[in-house]
Amino acid sequence: MNRHNLIPFFRSSCECRRRFFTFPLFFLLLAGAGSAQSFDPWADSVVVFLPGEGQNFGQDPAYFPRNVLGPPDSTATPTRASTDPNEILSLGLGGRIVLAFTDNLIIDGPGPDFTVFENAFIRQFGPKQGLPFAEPARVAVSRDGVHFVTFPFDSLTLKGLAGVTPTNGAADPTDPDSSGGDSFDLADVGLDTVRFVELVDVTAIIKDNPDHPYWDPTLSGFDLDAVVAVNSVPVVPTAVQRQNAPQRFVFELYPNPVSHNRGSPVVQMNLPRASMVEMALFNVLGQQVMPTEHIRAGAGDYRWSVPIESLPPGLYFLRLQFDNRVAVRKLQIVR
């Protein structure tokens, strides 16, 4: 956004065993026994990033994805927005990002369940004095990273969107009453637990409408600071899970071949232990056609959905790197 001068990932989904998604009370019991495993309330990995048009602030690898995986900028105030690329990522107009929580799950608890922080600020001068400089994003959530449910919103009042309420960086980011940001309740979309949060910039609903109460010609897209869980529980592996963890690295890709009108291919992977996994996709010329994804994953089963919508039919190679091991699978996209 222009206030920076005043001052677009490989989609994936990791899925714990199904019982983790259907019994949130089970997690409450685990939380009491979780002293051997710590977790933080903010997002742990970026599993999709598709930049939009225009602004690219904070997208340099020197800052991203680290700048969206911690707490909100502690120096931000309602009248002084964060302009630090170490803290802020611009999605650009129409940009999309999906973040994953891997060491904890967001659960439906009392009140709001998570907060999205953006660098909105309250205007101090001019005809819109007292109104926020808003560059909104619609918010959706998912248990598996494939099926998302979008929170309802009003395009005129911006209620139900992120990027409207300024951040109070001095407050506890898990306290929506004082932290600022825009908070969301899973009860509003009928879910009890989620692991993924999707943000899609919709600044165009303001920028393209001069009659909109929040209109400003300098709007340039949603700027993400952080996503923080308010109600969450740790994912603590049970003894049974540890005993049943795979003894070797398994990597499958299906359906294959795949066509655009039959959905997306899915990567099925079993990890023998927690590790950082890298995934990348290449064409037959050896050119990388999607950015490398880095995701922190625990031992067990994981699934990723590979976005092929923008790829022409042809032969591709999907590469996974786990520790010092590299595995490659052919992917055929047909008409």
Q: Which of 200, 215, 234 is the last residue of a domain?
A: 234
Residues 230 and 272 occupy one common structural domain: no
Q: What is the pLDDT of residue 248?
A: 57
170: containing domain: 2-234
Residue 4 has pLDDT above 80, yes or no: no
| pLDDT 10s digits, 257-283 | 888 776 678 787 777 777 778 888 888
Instruction: Tell me phi and psi for residue 304, to 5 degrees.
Output: -125, 140
Q: What is the pLDDT of residue 261?
A: 75
Residue 190 has pLDDT above 70, yes or no: yes
- Give the CB-side neighbour count of residue 268, counting CA atoms within 13 A: 6
Residues 178 and 30 occupy one common structural domain: yes
Residues 256 and 113 occupy one common structural domain: no
Stretch among 29-38, 63-72, 251-260, 275-284 having the lowest mean pLDDT? 29-38
Q: What is the pLDDT of residue 130?
A: 85
Count helices and strands in the chain by DSSP H and E runs: 5, 20
Rounded mean pLDDT, 72-97? 93
The 8-class DSSP code of residue 4 comes to: G
Rounded mean pLDDT, 298-310? 74
Rounded mean pLDDT, 9-38? 33
Residues 210 and 291 occupy one common structural domain: no
Residue 29 has pLDDT above 70, yes or no: no
Q: What is the CA radius of gyration of the chain?
A: 20
Q: Specify the CATH number for the domain of residue 300.
A: 2.60.40.1930
Residues 272 and 224 occupy one common structural domain: no
Residues 174 and 87 occupy one common structural domain: yes
Residues 224 and 281 occupy one common structural domain: no
Helix (H) or strand (E) holding 328: strand 325-334
Stretch among 34-43, 153-162, 216-225, 309-318 having the lowest mean pLDDT? 34-43
Q: Which of 218, 234, 250 is the last residue of a domain?
A: 234
**157 Cβ contact partners less than 8 Å away, ≥ 6 residues apart:** none
Residue 329 has pLDDT above 60, yes or no: yes
| pLDDT 10s digits, 55-67 | 889 999 899 999 9
Output 264 or 96, whichever has higher pLDDT.
Answer: 96
Output 296 or 238, whichever has higher pLDDT.
Answer: 296
Residues 110 and 186 occupy one common structural domain: yes
Residues 210 and 329 occupy one common structural domain: no
Q: What is the pLDDT of residue 48?
A: 82
Residue 308 has pLDDT above 90, yes or no: no
Q: Which of 171, 203, 234 is the last residue of a domain?
A: 234
Q: Specify the CATH number for the domain of residue 61.
A: 2.60.120.260
Q: Show the tokens assigned to 209.
A: 């409408």
Taking Cα atoms as reference points, which of 9, 6, 42 lies closest to residue 294?
9
| pLDDT 10s digits, 197-252 | 999 999 999 999 999 999 999 999 999 999 999 999 887 544 334 444 455 566 77
CB distance 200 to 180 below 8 Å:
no
Q: Residue 287 carries which side chain, given as an amino acid letter?
A: Q
The 8-class DSSP code of residue 122 comes to: B
Give the confidence band of 38 by pLDDT, cuts at 50, 70, 90.
Answer: low
Residues 280 and 322 occupy one common structural domain: yes
Number of domains in the chain: 2
DSSP string, 301-319: EEEEEPP-TTSPSEEEEEE
Give the chain's largest Cα–Cα span.
Answer: 65
Residues 66 and 190 occupy one common structural domain: yes
Residues 99 and 182 occupy one common structural domain: yes
